[in-house]
Chains A and B, each alone.
Chain A
């Protein structure tokens, strides 16, 4: 069965520091992979997605993610975190081509001044 694991429930980083949020997936075929961000009281915003091609994907707000098939991972990175990046981050895998998404449990990012 498809599944997504986000090993870190909560991460705290200092403003200006680099960030890496981990995501591991279980899926039999080539996955479609997504990262979403959800700020308190806000809806889901798509940060980036991987369908095929270059395994390093650039997204909005300075985020990037790298697909590593050998490690079944799709980690999200940002070189310098801003206070406004504090939010909940969700990794998701697309199950087949129906559009069904399987989400991880999320990682809460706190940014220290």
Chain B
């Protein structure tokens, strides 16, 4: 596609439920990144994919968070047993390689009630 697409754009969930967030990168982009932005904060790196492997998952805050990627295509970020502190905007970015063509999606706003 023309840009990085994220869905849903907004998600409200009850505490304790699992959620899945989706990211469709730009076609041909081999690298994919997930970030979290809490209200009034900067972006925090979560995980980086090169192809379908994740060389750096150092930013995942707990074992409730996991992510996978199918080939060089769509990625899903799964949060299990959501907590109120998980409320944030989750942003995805993709690139050809490294910082070449780096493009952010519009994000998914997650609210845990």
Contacts and interface: CB of A to CB of B under 8 A. Distances in A.
Interface in A60-80: none
A44, A51, A99, A103, most chain B CB atoms within 10 A: A99
Contacts of A94: 98-99
B99 A44 contact: no
A70 to B, nearest CB: 24
B33 A99 contact: yes
Interface in A13-40: 32
Interface residues of B, number: 24
A43 interface: yes
Interface of A: 4, 32, 43-44, 46, 49, 51, 90, 92, 94, 97-106
A82 B104 CA distance: 25
Given A43-B105, A99-B31, A100-B48, A32 B42 contact: no
A100 B104 contact: no
